[in-house]
Amino acid sequence: MKYIDEFRDGKLARGLAQAIRAEAKPERRYNFMEFCGGHTHAISRYGIEGLLPPNLLMIHGPGCPVCVLPIGRVDSAIDLALHRDVTLCTYGDVMRVPASGQMSLMKAKARGADVRMVYSTLDALRIARDEPGREVVFFAIGFETTTPPTAVAIKQAHAQGLANFSVFCNHVLTPAAIANILESPEVRKLGTVPLDGFVGPAHVSTVIGSQPYEFFAEEYQKPVVIAGFEPLDVMQAILMLVRQVNEGRAEVENEFSRAVTPEGNEKAKALVAEVFELRRSFEWRGLGEVPYSALRIKEAYRAFDAEIRFDLGYHAVADAKGCECGAILRGVKRPEDCKLFGTVCTPENPIGSCMVSSEGACAAHYTYGRFDDRAARKAG
């Protein structure tokens, strides 16, 4: 068992595709949202949409941390790197996120700012240890998967007395975003699509478990199937959702049982609870201000909070003109509906955040899906 090839078997995929087509009732529509960028990527890369019946639509959700990070927060990070003489460490995906004035951290680096791409929070800690004369800031973004590693780094910095290390915390929470898509009046006003169910996050759920989704299933009567990121996992989850809808059920089911338990990872959750607390509100690109949807560093560790150390304020900034990222993140529009898609906005030169990370709906569609569009146009 290698846990990869087994879950990409073509023969099994054909069987699952047949079962989905056979069981989806032609007289109704099925709109399912895959929350996670990881699923969006898998659906595009493996051509899963092409295997689904025409009345079953996969809507790409806002579960791509780079895509939902508002411009204002990236501006703050660029300001730190360019004007405050700090060494700014961050994950590779963040480097190319477009910010105000056509800037990005990559361009800040080209202008001489000390921006370093790291693979792990441990690398950022090592830089702080090796260069005690430099202020080292870790620009932390991501959902519940990347939060525990940031908590470990803050605890280690605390234990080792690393006074030149701090964290610019932008960690966000999955359940808050799902609730927002389902109920927020602002999001309703901006427009949403009717949803019949969710493909629940894979790796986020290894940490938080399957329990946090019980609320959505019960309160909003929406089925949730937690699925792994391999193509067979996604197809199995779609089939399980179709069955729930057909049988009038709204339950949390766990397809990714090889890694997800009801409780999740207790050790990781305890670390996060020790280091972080809820923010009253946080701006998401596409969703606007979402109450209690992000984390900040607790009082006990405030010495490592870059927002306090460098007195960072927050200024909301509007998206680039013509960019449809906001509507795409709510599932109202699809990448091919955006005028900028594939013309001025490409993965090499992203205008909107959805084109940056390979998990972004636009980047995934640009890399894999747009060839289907062309084929369809030719055929039509």
Partner 1 sequence: MCLAIPVQVVKLLPGENAVVDAAGVQKEISLALVQDVAVGDYVILHVGYALQKLDEDEARRTLELFAQMGQTAPGEAAPTVAGATIP
Q: Note the helical H segments in 276-349.
A: 306-309, 325-329
Neighbours of 111 (CB within 10 A): 11
Under the binding rule (CB under 8 A), the answer on residue 61 touching partner 1 is no
Whether the Cβ atoms of residue 104 and residue 95 lie closer than 8 Å to each other: yes
Residue 82: its H or E element? helix 71-83
Q: Which residues are 289's β-sheet partners?
A: 283
Q: Which is nearer to partner 1, 196 or 359 (CB)?
A: 359
Task: Out of 61, 201, 286, 326, point to the residue binding partner 1 (CB under 8 A).
Answer: 201
Under the binding rule (CB under 8 A), the answer on residue 236 touching partner 1 is yes
CB of 240 to partner 1, least distance (A): 8
Under the binding rule (CB under 8 A), the answer on residue 353 touching partner 1 is no
For the chain, the distance separating the N- and C-terminal CA atoms, rounded to the nearest angstrom, is: 44
Task: Out of 33, 34, 37, 331, point to the residue binding partner 1 (CB under 8 A).
Answer: 37
Task: Out of 116, 243, 298, 370, point to the residue binding partner 1 (CB under 8 A).
Answer: 243
Task: Out of 166, 206, 293, 353, point to the residue binding partner 1 (CB under 8 A).
Answer: 206
What is the strand order of the sheet 30-36 is part of? 56-63, 30-36, 197-200, 224-226, 252-254
DSSP string, 180-212: HHHH-HHHHHH------EEEE-SHHHHHH-SGG
Whether the Cβ atoms of residue 104 and residue 97 lie closer than 8 Å to each other: yes
Task: Out of 141, 241, 329, 364, point to the residue binding partner 1 (CB under 8 A).
Answer: 141
DSSP string, 94-149: GGG---GGG--HHHHHHTT--EEE-SSHHHHHHHHHH-TTSEEEEEEEESTTTHHH
Whether the Cβ atoms of residue 251 and residue 217 lie closer than 8 Å to each other: yes
Task: Out of 268, 295, 312, 338, point to the residue binding partner 1 (CB under 8 A).
Answer: 268
Among the residue ranges 97-105, 257-265, 274-282, 312-320, the one whose residues contact partner 1 (CB under 8 A): 257-265
Under the binding rule (CB under 8 A), the answer on residue 142 touching partner 1 is yes
> Which amino acid, residue 103?
M
CB of 48 to partner 1, least distance (A): 14
CB of 110 to partner 1, least distance (A): 23
Under the binding rule (CB under 8 A), the answer on residue 258 touching partner 1 is yes
Task: Out of 61, 62, 148, 223, point to the residue binding partner 1 (CB under 8 A).
Answer: 148
Under the binding rule (CB under 8 A), the answer on residue 34 touching partner 1 is no
Among 72, 74, 65, 73, residue whose Cα is nearest residue 97? 74
CB of 93 to partner 1, least distance (A): 6
CB of 188 to partner 1, least distance (A): 27
In degrees and rounded to multiples of 5, residue 83 shows phi and psi of -115, -10
Longest dimension (CA), the chain: 68
CA 144 from chain centre, in angstroms, equals 10
CB of 284 to partner 1, least distance (A): 14
Under the binding rule (CB under 8 A), the answer on residue 6 touching partner 1 is yes
Among the residue ranges 25-33, 58-66, 72-80, 182-190, the one whose residues contact partner 1 (CB under 8 A): 58-66
Q: Which residues are 345's β-sheet partners?
A: 341
Instruction: Give contact residues for partner 1 (rule: CB under 8 A).
Output: 1-4, 6-7, 9, 12, 14-19, 21-23, 36-38, 63-66, 91, 93, 119-123, 141-143, 145-146, 148-149, 152, 201-204, 206-207, 229, 232-233, 236, 239, 243, 251, 253-255, 257-260, 265, 267-268, 271, 357, 359
